[in-house]
Amino acid sequence: MNDFLFQPFSKFVKLSDFSHKLIKKCCGGDRVIDVLLHFPSSIIRRTDDIQNFSERDRLTVVIKVTDHVIPSYKNSPYRIVGQTPNGEIITVVYFNYNRHFIKKTFPYDAVLTVSGPAQRKTDGIEITHPDIIASPGMAKYYVGTEAVYPLVSKLTNKTLSYVVKYLLKSLPNIPEWIPAEFIEKYHLMSFAEALKEIHFPKNLNDIESSAAKKRIAIDELLANQIRLKELRNLLTSHTVPIFHKTNEIISRLKLPFQLTDDQLACLSDIEKDFAAGTPMNRLLQGDVGSGKTVVAFISMLIAIENNTQVAMLAPTEILARQHFDTIRKLSEGLNLNIDIMLSSNRKLRKLQIEKLKNGETDILLGTHAIIEDNIEFKNLGLAVIDEQHRFGVQQRLTLIKKCKYPHVLSMSATPIPRTLLLGCFGDLDVSTIKTKPSGRKPISTSVISVSKVHELISKLVTVDSQIYWVCPVIEESESLVDVNTRCDSLRQAFSENDVQILHGKMKPKEKEDIMARFKAGEFKLLVSTTVIEVGVDIPNANVMVIEHAERFGLAQLHQLRGRIGRGDKPSYCVLLYHFPVSVVGKQRLSLMRETTDGFLLSEEDLKLRGAGDILGKEQSGFDTLRFSDFSDNYELVQIADEIAQKAAPNDILYKIFKRQNDDVIA
């Protein structure tokens, strides 16, 4: 009985192979539930009220064919004239037609039901390309509200509607997975009732914001919350050695600054996790430049004091090298063995693997290279994952499996809105750094039209600072300014050697050399794509120009702006926009000019773009959240989380909203 939802729909409905393939493609699968979760996007109102129909309706009438008006010219319409039982003249019009089809379908004196878009003309009523032609006795079935589905080419709404109706008619009793107290508290209908209401809508509201849609959204979020709860329970069910802060190494650490209260509070959270005897799974989030790396480094030292190794995973080589340089500098005098493993440098791999296996390496930094199968640690105690939203669940777990449940500290410089914290990171404990280290100068942000770009360049030539100029694309584009084109124009204003290019298609060694030269102050202006978005720390670069700023999301604009303001001089960010600018684009530019608060911007970014764009597909819950949107459904996320505390795991619920990486809970 419960397997009905997960059986191929073709097992219950007779269809041609062609129709079966079209429906499978349209609904994203061939299970019954795939079809039932393919919801209509709008409605059609079919009426037989020949006196009061509107042009938005589909008029359903019974006619007797009285004449065929064959077109005199090739591109003229074909007309079939008919008459209703009450004598009203109806003309059926075809602009694209097959004469054989028309003569076979509308023979003289035939009595038929036709239904389609209609208009009242001076000589009667015209129905253009009727979407239903049936026997006269079927007329009553084509009156009322009808769902309209998103379709793939060559699949008709009639065919899909027939399959949906048949499956819903055969739907068995589905056991309830939400406890009765919540059904009553939140006035929820059953899952089956919700499906039926959405597929048989009385009005558009039944599709867009009904109680039925609310129930489906809560079910999807509930499946996600229960999964996160199980993942947390899985981790906390394992015991690991307790880490004690011995100060054997930390006492020799000499920081050139005082830690902020927020940094100290986050370290206190981490130390409590280390002392709990279960694996830490904590997210350390903070705005750009808030000092997360130092907190992570001190956490690494505690792990090393307890005779374990540390791995730090970064999404790009530039960021990995930046962390390597920072941690090496902080480690001066601590007698630590620090290594970096990159895909671009395999010559050292064999020696690096040996050092890891025998425990010589204390801290290993790197990109995806460190999660390859042949990389083994002697005793991995702490895994630090930077910009963790850039890694999928499976990638993070691959690193964790290098040891039997090490402590995990994830970091994010993109402040995560509260809805996403609850809905996507419910398995993590969260620590937040809101204050920035003292001495940081504020960044002034201005919004300028590209029509004033020459004036801007003239001013930049006189600036006593290094400059970033970010372009959205590498290659030449009809609508976007690319790095090469902009570089050529800037070299005409600056000296030839004072402007260099950086982008993702360059070889790692080239990128490394360019960044090293820029950091050393060998040239003034770096024209780059968004490869500099995270991890680049050059105190003398105090100006950031972002070309086509209207095309970027708020989180990315804020990250790019965070590359400046790291020295003791005032910093300036210029958002250079090109016309036309969308309404959303104008909102983003205005918000960027008004605030440098990354937490506020992340909330607004969620409203403007949605979770998937901010987090990426790997991190946005199931394959996609189809029926709930984190950007405006915080209340539903809270309800689902409340239910998840008492609801038991349910196989049917899991299968309905199946996730791509469900095998990770094993």
The pLDDT score that the predictor gives to residue 186 is 96
The residue out of 433, 464, 487 marking a domain boundary is: 433
DSSP-assigned letters across all residues of 259-318: PPHHHHHHHHHHHHHHTSSS--EEEEEE-TTS-HHHHHHHHHHHHHHTT-EEEEE-SSHH
The pLDDT score that the predictor gives to residue 665 is 38
Residue 635 lies inside a defined structural domain of this protein? no
Strand partners, 412: 285
Q: In the chain, what percentage of residues exceed pLDDT 90?
A: 65
Q: Do both 333 and 414 map to the same domain?
A: yes
The pLDDT score that the predictor gives to residue 389 is 59
Q: Do both 36 and 49 map to the same domain?
A: no
The pLDDT score that the predictor gives to residue 497 is 93
DSSP-assigned letters across all residues of 172-184: ------S-HHHHH
In 3D space, the residue among 133, 141, 155, 170 whose CA is nearest the CA of residue 24 turns out to be 155
Q: Do both 457 and 400 map to the same domain?
A: no
In 3D space, the residue among 459, 466, 458 whose CA is nearest the CA of residue 499 turns out to be 466
CATH assignment of the domain containing 480: 3.40.50.300
Q: In the chain, what percentage of residues exceed pLDDT 70?
A: 92
CA angle 617, 618, 624 (to 5 degrees): 45
The pLDDT score that the predictor gives to residue 391 is 63
The pLDDT score that the predictor gives to residue 393 is 57
The pLDDT score that the predictor gives to residue 662 is 46
pLDDT at 631 over 70: no
Angle between helices 157-169 and 17-27 (to 10 degrees): 80
pLDDT tens for residues 486-541? 999 999 999 999 999 999 899 888 988 999 899 999 999 999 998 886 667 788 99
pLDDT at 403 over 80: no
Query: What's the whole-number mean pLDDT along residues 465-490?
Result: 92
pLDDT tens for residues 11-66? 999 999 999 999 999 999 999 999 999 999 999 999 999 999 998 899 999 999 99
Residue 298 lies inside a defined structural domain of this protein? yes
Strand partners, 371: none
Residue 544 lies inside a defined structural domain of this protein? yes
Residue 205 lies inside a defined structural domain of this protein? no
Beta carbons of 130 and 106 less than 8 angstroms apart: no
Residue 290 lies inside a defined structural domain of this protein? yes
Query: Band of the pLDDT at 620, cuts 50, 70, 90?
Result: very low
pLDDT at 337 over 50: yes
Owning domain of residue 487:
443-595
Residue 261, number of CB atoms within 10 A of its CB: 11
CB-count exposure of residue 322 (10 Å: 0-12, 13-18, 19+):
buried
The residue out of 595, 610, 640 marking a domain boundary is: 595
Buried/exposed code over 324-349 (b: 16+ C-beta within 10 A; e: otherwise): bebbeebbeeeebebbbbbeebeeeb
Coil, helix or strand at residue 401: coil
Q: Do both 21 and 169 map to the same domain?
A: yes
Instruction: Give me the phi and psi of 411, to 5 degrees please.
Output: -130, 145
Q: Do both 403 and 332 map to the same domain?
A: yes
Query: Band of the pLDDT at 238, cuts 50, 70, 90?
Result: confident
The beta strands (E) that lie in 70-215 are given as 78-83, 89-94, 111-121, 124-128, 132-134, 144-148
DSSP 3-state helix, strand, coil percentages of the chain (rounded to 5)?
40, 20, 40
Task: Give the neighbor-by-neighbor strand order of the sheet with 443-449.
Answer: 443-449, 571-577, 541-547, 466-470, 525-528, 499-502
Residue 257 lies inside a defined structural domain of this protein? yes
List of residues 6+ apart from 389 with CB closer than 8 A:
412, 414, 416, 614, 615, 616, 619
Q: Do both 297 and 377 map to the same domain?
A: yes
Between 387 and 381, whose confidence is greater?
381
Domain count, the chain: 4
pLDDT tens for residues 142-158? 999 999 999 999 999 98
Query: What's the whole-number mean pLDDT along residues 464-483?
Result: 91
Query: Band of the pLDDT at 267, cuts 50, 70, 90?
Result: very high
Residue 601 lies inside a defined structural domain of this protein? no
Q: Do both 288 and 422 map to the same domain?
A: yes
The pLDDT score that the predictor gives to residue 72 is 87
pLDDT tens for residues 114-142? 999 999 998 899 999 999 999 999 999 89
What is the DSSP secondary structure assignment for residue 407, as one 8-state letter? E
Q: Give the integer Cα–Cα distance in Å for 167 and 181.
A: 30
CA angle 440, 446, 451 (to 5 degrees): 145
pLDDT at 429 over 80: yes
Q: Do both 500 and 408 map to the same domain?
A: no
The pLDDT score that the predictor gives to residue 568 is 79
The pLDDT score that the predictor gives to residue 318 is 81
The pLDDT score that the predictor gives to residue 316 is 83
**Residue 437 amino acid letter:** P
pLDDT at 642 over 60: yes
Beta carbons of 365 and 359 less than 8 angstroms apart: no
CA distances from 428 to 231, 294, 391 (A): 9, 20, 15
Q: Do both 419 and 561 map to the same domain?
A: no
Query: Band of the pLDDT at 481, cuts 50, 70, 90?
Result: very high
